[in-house]
Amino acid sequence: MPEQKREWVVTLDDNYLDRIDQIVAELERAGLRVERVLATIGQVTGCTTVAEPTQGSIEDPCRERMTVITGVLSVDAVRQFSAPSPDSDVQ
Amino acid sequence: MTRYVVTFDTPDFAVLQDEAPELLSSEGISTERYYPRLGIGIVDSDADELQTFSARCRDRNRPVTFTPELTYYAIEEPSQFTDTDQLTWGLQAIGIDRARDAGHTGAGVRVAVLDTGVNLDHPDFTSRGITAESFIEGEGPHDAHGHGTHCIGTACGPWETDAGPGYGVAPEAEIFAGKVLGDDGTGSDSSILAGIDWALQHDCQVISMSLGADVREVHPPYVAAGRRALELGSLIVAAAGNNAQRSAGNFGFVGAPANSPHIMAVAAVDSALRTAEFSARSLPHEGGEVDLAAPGVDIHSAWTGGERYRSISGTSMATPHVAGIAALTSGATGARGQELWDALIASTTALEGEPSEDVGAGLTVIPELAEPRAS
């Protein structure tokens, strides 16, 4: 079955910032391949791979598992940002 | 009913004093605002009634004229700045002389510009100690795009150069160039948030982000990042967005991350201090407001790829003006985080005719700063 890679930003609750390493371990157990641990802003970025759903289901078991970890405030899909092309009149 | 100015056309003062008001009253017209010394009254009436009145006065050999009241306006010099050999119009508009006269250069303040990196070979920056780091896999911190260099130039570039106008607000601020957008100009949360984290690790007082996504929804990671940055004494300023086409009636909206509650959103004005054609308008939710405006049309600054300077427009250009002003203010007063946010809002000039949905508190300007004490 084809796999889909998804990128996530996990935001930690204020009260758990000092336990970030512990939470990172739990995120990995939940299926997150951790890319960056941003200790100062209390966030972890990484990706999960999920089998491509055949019926178009939007449920992501990895995300569900990450969300319920104690100390996780939110799990959000990564967004793309940009600056306009250099030749554009408006930057 | 319209307001009219009725004038009794006679030099005879006795007529003006006594007869004229009687004529008005007998017509049912109030004499409350009739001025006998002038023979002039301001009345609420209509053309038909006054035609009748005028005919009656003519019959009595007491001619009157009447004309609709005019509204008058104070005559002001329209604001219009222009680049000179010495300074860009943007630096003039923000009152750069206040910083120069008081000797405030941003020295001792760390400004992180999270963008496409920095042109490390630029002649205006070779003597500056720039800390540059890339958060884009496979790319170093050098700016191949130009955008990042241009923004760094506006925020921290020189007041004087040997080849054109001075174009930087805080010429001695310490520059932290974080490459969070690739050479193609795009980047994701992972790189941007990593850049913010890096800037906080280096205790930067100001983080400038001339980047955005045209999404109305607040992106949750930036709520937490912005709040934590403020708590740690770092102010994040971001571009409001260029998704408006005002001449076509589209006012756009503040995109992410500027629409986040703990991140300042900066709009762009042109050299006549009018909201720029492309500058995005406030969103109704908390945090979605435009906070400030700054020069953002035809802004001359440094570029890359052998092109020493370029003049471009965008809320991307307005943002580093505010970042530079924040650096000068922090350097002079020690203000950081929320205190610095408040100081910037207080240091604005209201823009006549520009609604707050477009310009927030107004044009950000350099405040009066006490001269640095001799150490």
Task: For B139-171, give the DSSP string.
Answer: --SB-SSSHHHHHHHHHH--S--SSS-B--S-T
Q: Are B128 and B352 in contact (CB under 8 A)?
A: no
Report DSSP state, residue B259.
Answer: T
Burial class (CB in 10 A: 0-12, 13-18, 19+), B61: exposed
Report DSSP state, residue B94.
Answer: T
The share of chain B scoring above pLDDT 90, in percent, equals 82
Q: Which two tokens stand for residue B153?
A: 């130039």
Indicate whether B78 pLDDT > 90: no
pLDDT at B73: 65
Q: Which two tokens stand for residue B243?
A: 């998704």
Count how many residues are written for chain A.
91
In this structure, how many other beta carbons lie within 10 angstroms of the beta carbon of residue B44? 14
CB–CB of A83 and B115 under 8 A?
yes
Of A47-51, A59-63, B152-156, the range with the highest mean pLDDT is B152-156
User: CB of B200 within 8 Å of any CB in chain A?
Assistant: yes
Among candidates B115, B212, B221 on the partner chain, residue whose Cβ is nearest the Cβ of A76? B221
Which residues of B does the annotation mark as catalytic?
Answer: 115, 147, 316
CB–CB of B228 and A41 under 8 A?
yes
CB–CB of B312 and A91 under 8 A?
yes
In this prediction the ipTM stands at 0.86
Q: Name the band, by pLDDT with cuts 50, 70 and 90, for residue A80.
A: confident
Q: Name the band, by pLDDT with cuts 50, 70 and 90, for residue A22.
A: very high
Q: Name the band, by pLDDT with cuts 50, 70 and 90, for residue B335.
A: very high
d(CA A72, CA B111): 30
pLDDT at A3: 78
Indicate whether A90 pLDDT > 80: no
Both ends of chain B: CA-CA distance in Å? 71
Min distance A54 CA to chain B CA atoms (Å):
28
Q: Which helix (H) or strand (E) holds A37?
A: strand A33-38
Count how many residues are written for chain B.
375
List A7's β-bridge partners, or say none: A47
Q: Are B79 and B90 in contact (CB under 8 A)?
A: no
The share of chain A scoring above pLDDT 90, in percent, equals 65
- pLDDT, tens digit, for every residue of B214-254? 999 999 999 999 999 999 999 999 999 999 999 999 999 99
What does the DSSP assignment read for B299-320?
A: EEEE-STT--EEEEBSHHHHHH
Higher-pLDDT residue of A58 and B270 is B270
pLDDT at B191: 96
Which residues of chain A neighbour B178 with C-beta distances below 8 Å?
none
- pLDDT, tens digit, for every residue of B99-134? 999 999 999 999 999 999 999 999 999 999 899 999
Single-letter amino acid code for the residue at B231: E
CB–CB of B221 and A43 under 8 A?
yes
- pLDDT, tens digit, for every residue of B129-186? 899 999 999 999 999 999 999 999 999 999 999 999 999 999 999 999 999 999 999 9
d(CA B44, CA B46): 7
Q: Name the band, by pLDDT with cuts 50, 70 and 90, for residue A54.
A: low
pLDDT at B69: 83
**B151, B216, B228: which to substitute to probe chain A, counting the most A Cβ within 10 Å?**
B228
Q: Are B121 and B186 in contact (CB under 8 A)?
A: no
Indicate whether B61 pLDDT > 70: yes
